[in-house]
Structure 1
Amino acid sequence: MELAREIALMRKQRGWTQEELAEYSGLSVRTIRNVELGRVQNPRQSSIDLLMEALGVSAEAVRRADDALAAERWRGPQSPNAPLTGLGSDFEQLVRTVRANRLTTFHGPGGVGKTRLALAVAEELSSTFRDGVVFVELGDIPREHPFGNHQTTTVLRRVSERLSRAPRPGGSPPDAADSKRIDGRADNERDDHLLLVLDNAEHVPAGTIAAARELLSRFARIHVLITARRRLTERLGVNREILPLSVDHRPGCTVSSAPAVELLLWHVESGSPAAVDLVRDASRLAELCRRVGGLPRYLEFAAERLRTVPIELLLTNGLIMQMLWTRDHALSSHQRSVAASISWDLDLLTDNHRRLLTRLATLRTPRFTVDDVAAEFGARATAVGGATQLVLLSDLLDLSLVVADSAEPCEYRLAPYVREVIRPSEEEPADHHETVSEASNPLVRRRTSSGMPAIRRAVPGARSFVAETPGVPTLADATLEMGGAAR
C-alpha cells in the first residue's frame, strides 16, 4: 500500500495523468489505476520496474522510502521478543475482534501479558490501517479518585500529542492544527484511519472511556484498543479477558511443552546450562509455575532468579515475594516487582474493600466460600463500614485480587502473594503454598460475563444488596459516577 501511494505521489508531483504515465511506461491505464488504489496487493516486479523507469527513479530507492514511511506509521514501542506461547487460535481471534470492533478492551490481572498481546495484535493489523498504529501509555497519569477528579482532559491531551506526530495521508508532515484536533478547536477533522492503543488504563477508567467516546465520535475510522486490569465499561465495544498461561502439558508430551513452563525456560535462555538442568527437574519446574499462577511477568521474574539460584532452593524457601522483581527499567515502576504490582491494585480500592481484603487474609484456611464471608461478618452479609461484603467481594474478583478455585466452583482464595502484601510482617502458613492444578489456575476460567464466578449462582441477589446501603460507593458505582462527570 505504501509503494502504491508513493507511485501516485510521484506521478502527481510531475503533473502527469494516469493516461500519460501509461503512455510513458507502456502499461495500461487500468493497471496503473489498480496499483495506485492498492487493489493489486502484489504487483508484478516487471510492472514496478517499468513504472520506476518511467518516473526516473530506482525501485530500490522507492523501497527504502517505503520502509522509512512504514517505520513512521508505527508510533510506539516495539513488541518484546518473548514468544506468544499457549495462544494458538486465540491470537487470531483477538486480531479479528480488534479489526471488527471500533473499541476493544483487553483486561486481566497485572502481569498476564495484556500489553504484550496488544502490541502483537497491533503489529499484525498495522498494514490494515492506512495511518498505522499510535500507542499511548497511560500508566504514569495520576490516578482518579471515586467521585473526585477525572482525567479525561489529560488522556485526550496525551492522545493529541501522539496524533500530532503521526504521519498524515499521503505522507505529508503534521501541521500546527493537528495538535488542536482533539479538543475541538480545528475547523476540519482529519480522516484518520489508524489503530489507537491506550495502555494501562485501570487507574483512570472514567477519563479513558470518556476520551474513547470522544475520539470515536470525532474520527469515524479510528479503532481503539484499551488494556486495563479490570473492565472499564459494558456499554461500549467488547471486552476480552486475557488469562494466565496453562501449567498443564498435553497428554503424551513433556512437562516443558506446557505454555507456562515453555515461557519460563525461554526467559532462562533455552539451551543454557541452567535451562538444561531445569528440564531434567520437571516436577519442580511445574510447581514453580503453579506457585506464580502462570502469570508471564511473574515467570520472567522467577527466570531471573533461576539463572543464579537453583530451583530447589527457590522452592524450599517458598519462592517468597521478595525474590520476584527485576531491574528492567523499560517497565513502569509498578510493574517491576510482584509487590509493586499488587500494591498498585490495592491503591485502586476503597477503604471498605481494603478492610474486607484484610479480614479475608486472616481467615483460618486459604480457601473460603460466600457462606464463610457471611459467617465471618454476620448473618445476611451485614455491612463492613456500611457497604455490603458480597458486592465488595465481587469487586475484588474483578480486580483478580480474589480468585475462584476450580476444585470447588463456589470456593475462593486470595491471588498469589496478595496475603504477603497485606500482612507483610506475618509469616505465611505452609498450607497457603499448596499447589494449584491448572484447572484451578488462579486467575479464573470460570468467570461469567459479569465477572462474578460463583457469587451469582450462590447468592442470586448479591447485586441487589447495593440498594440496602444507599450512598455507599463500590468500584462499579465510582466508575459510573466519574464517567458521568466526564461526559
Structure 2
Amino acid sequence: MATARPSFEATVSAREAEVLAAVSEHLTNAEIAERLFISVRTVESHVSSLLRKLQVTDRRELAQAGRPVLGNRGSAWSVGTPQTTLPRPLTPFVGREHEVADLARALDEHRLVTVVGPGGVGKTRLALRVADEVQGRFADGVVFVDLVPVAEPDAVAAAVAGALGLGESQQHSVEEVLTGWLSTRRMLLVVDNCEHLLDAVSVLLEVLLTACPGLTVLATSRSRLLLPFELTYPAPGLSLAAEDGRPPDAVELFVSRAAAAGSPVGPGDLGRVAVLCRNLDGMALAIELAAARLPALGLDGLEAGLADRLDLLAGGSRVDDRHRSLRSALDWSHALLSEQERALLRRISVIAGPFPASAAVEMLGDWDPLVPDRVPAHLARLAEESLLVPVPTALGTRYSQLETIRQYGAALLAAADEVDVAHARHLHWCLATAERLGEPATAGEEGELWRARFDEASVETRWSLPWARHRADQREPAYRLSTLMADLSLVRGRPGESQRRYELAAELAPDDTARTLALRQAAGAADGRQFGNEAMRLRELAAEAAERAGDPTGAAVDLARAAELVERGPGIMAVVPPTSEIERLLSRARPLADGDPRAESRILTAEAFGRGERDPEVRSLVDRAIQLARTAGDPLGESAALDMLTAVQLAEGQLEEAFESAVRRTELLVPVPVAADSALEFFDSYQMGSQCALAAGDLGEARRLGEGLLDLPFYREEYHLATSRLIVVGLFTGAWDEALTQAELFRTGWERAGRPLQGNLRAAPYSAATIHALRGDDEARAEWMTVVATLEEPLRRRRAGAFGKFFDSLVLLHRGRPAEAVELLAQPPESLVGDADAMWRAWYASAWCEAAVLAGLPDAQERLRQAEQVTVGNPVAQAVVLRARGLAGSGAGSAGGGRDDIVAAASALRSLGARYQWARSLVMLGGADRERGLAELDAMGAAPTAWPPG
C-alpha cells in the first residue's frame, strides 16, 4: 500500500517575507544578505523556496507576486505547490476548438493519449494548448518533457527525471526514482517528439503508468507507441471549412501570421487564401511558412511558387500527402534562399538548443560559402522566413529551430556529405564555449547569468559528446570538453552530472595518468553527492589505473581513502560494506606506500577509523597521521585525520577540544580549492563543525558553520545536503518557521534526489518532526518520522540513539509527561559511547536529570550531580541542569530557595540564544514571567506547555 504523500503546503515565514520585500525592491541577493545579516546562500535558499511557493519562474515575477502577499501578512495566506513547466509559445494558438475539447475529454478517460501525425501538423502546439486547458485537474501540476535534445535511448528516463527536477539515487535506477516520485502524485506529463526513441519511450511509459496510478501522459509522435492501453489521436490538419460564420482555422492562422509579418489580408482575398491552405492540406507549419512569404511575394507569387513545387511531387503515393505538403513548402522556401542561407540552414541542424548569432558565426562563419560578417544577416533572414524562431532570454536574443525544420536541415546536411565536419565544428565550439565560461560566479545576478551560460553549454555538450565518443579522431577534444564540463558542473551545483562527465573523461583519456585523475575526480564528485558506494568503486578503479601509470603511492592513497570510507562514512552508504573491506583494501595499499608520508598518513587514518574511537591505540595512530599529513603538505589528509581525532575527543567527553578540532579543519581548508576531490572534506568539516558547536552549546557558531554548507557551490541544487544542519540548529534556537522552511527544501531535495539512504542526515528530519510535535501537530510529525525511518534503513545497527531519545523527551516534557520521559531516558548518560551518541551526551544528560526531578524520582539529586559533570563544556545544557536543580529545591513552579537558580538559568539561556528553553524557564517561574514565557512560546508557534506537569 502506498504511503500518503507528504503535504507541501506552507506559509510564507517571517524571514521569507523580509526576503520577499527586498526582492520587490529589486535588491540583489548580495544586497539582501547584507541587509538581513545572513549569507548569500541563505538568501538564495529563501528565494528558491519563494519561487516554489508562489509558483513563479523568475525574480521579476516574484517581485510582482510579492506585493499582494506582503500586503496580506495578517491573513493565513498559504499556497500549494503544483509543478507546472509548460513552455509558452511566442505566437497565439489559433482555432482547433474541437480537437482541444476532444483531447481534454480523452485525458479524462485514458491515462496515455498519443497525438500522432506528420511533422509540421501542429502536434506540439495542440498538446500544449490541451495541457494548459486541463492543468487544473492535476493537483501536482503539468510537466513538459522535450525529447528533441535526447540522442540516445538510454537517456530517455534521465530526460524525464531532469524535467521533473529529480536526481539520481544511490540504490535505485532512474526508473525507480521516477516511480518513487510519481507514485503518490496526480500529475500530467507532456512528452513531446517521441518518434526517434519509440521503443525506449514505450518501455518507460509502461513502467511509469503501471506503478503510478495518479499519472497521466499526453505524448506527441509521428508514430504511435504501440502500447495496449494507448489511445491514439490522429492530429488533423487545420480545418478547411468555415463554421458558424467564422473562417476556417487554416485561413485564420494564415491571416494571423500574415498580419504579424506586416501584410494584412483583405476580405476579398480570403477565398484565394482558402485555396492556398487547401493545397497545403491544412498543415500548420506549411501555412506559417507561406504566410511569412506574403510580404515579399504577394498571393500571386505564393500561388505560382507553390504550384511549381507541388508539380515536382505529382504522381506519387498519397499515403503521406501531408509529409509531401510540408516538404513541398520547405523545399520551396529552401529554393528561394541564397546559397549562403541554404548552407547555414543545414549546418545549424547540429545545434541542439537555442543559440546566439555569435555561436553560428564562430562555429560556421569561415566554412565556404559562408562569410563571418554576413552570418547574422543570414540568421535574421531565416527568422523572417519562419525557418528560425527568435527567442528573448536573460542572455539576449537566441535562435531556436523547430524540430521539423531541424530534421529537414539534417537531411540536407547528410545529402551534402557535411555531417562529420559539422559535428566536429560543433564539438570544438562546445569546447571553446566551456573554456570561455571561466571562473564561476556564484552570487547575485552575475551568478544567475553565469549559470544560464553554463546551462546553454551543457545542453550542447550533452548533444555533442555521444557523437564524438565513438570517433577516434575526436577523442582528444571530447576528453578535454568532458573534463572541463565536469569541473564546472560541480560548481554549478550538479555533482551527479559532474561524476558522469568525469567517468566519460576517464573512458576518453589518452593514457592511464589522465584516466587516474579523471577517476579520482569522479570519486570525489560521488563523495560530494553522498554516494559512498560509488566513491569506493571509483577509488579502486583509480588505484588500478594509477598502478598501470607507474604511480604506486598514488594507488596506495586511493585504496586507503576507499578503506577509510567504510567506517568514516556509513551514513552516506546505500549498502554499508563489511568491516573486512578495510583490511582487504589496506593489505593492497601498504606494500604500495613505500614510506611516502601522504600515503602512510592515509593508511593510518583508515586504520584508526576501522578500530573505532574507543580503541586505546587510536589516539596515537591519529596523531601520527596528522604529523605525516603536515610533512606531506596534504591538508585534505590532515582534515581526514582531524575528523577521527574529533570523534575520539567526543567519545572522551572533551567537548571544547572536539569543537576546536572541528573548527581547525574548516580553517585548514580555507586555501584549498573547492573541487571534486576536496568536496567530502568541505562538507564534512562544516557539518562536523556545526555538530560539535551544538555539542558544545555554541548555537551561534553552530548556525554559522551550518550556513557554510549552504555556501558550498556543489550543493546549490542539493537542498537536503545544504540545509541539514540549519534545521537542527533552528530547533534549539527557536527559529522554527525558518527551520521548517529549510525542512521543506530538505524534503524536496531529498525526494528529487531519489530518497537516498543517507543516515548521516537523520537529525534534520527528526528535528522537523520535533518542531511539529512541540507545535501539537502529531500528523506532521509522523510524516517526518517516515523520512527518518527511510534514512536509517542501511544503518540498522546504528539507529538514532541519544539524539532521537533526547528530541522525543523534549516533547514529553513539554506536554507534562515526565514519567514517560524517565522511561525513555533509561540509559545513564555516561554509557553513551561512540562519536554519534557522545555528540549528544550533554543534551541527553540535561533532559535525563530534569525528567527525574519533575517525576519526583528518589535519585533525582544524584542524577543532578552526575549531569553537572557530564554537561561541562556545554553552557546551554548546564543552564538546563541548573534550572532542574532550582526546580528540585523550590518545587515545581513554586517560590522558594531554588527560584534564584531558575532565574539564573533563564538569563543564561536567553544570552546563549536558546529561545525555547528560555521561554519554558519563564513559564516555570510563574506570575508575570509565566505570561511572558507563554507569549514567547506562542510567537514560536508552540502548543501550550503543560505546567506544572500532571
Greater RCO (Cα-Cα under 8 Å, separation 6 or more): 1
- From the two aligned structures, give the one with the greater helix fraction: 2
TM-score, reference length from structure 2: 0.26
Q: TM-score, normalised by structure 1?
A: 0.48
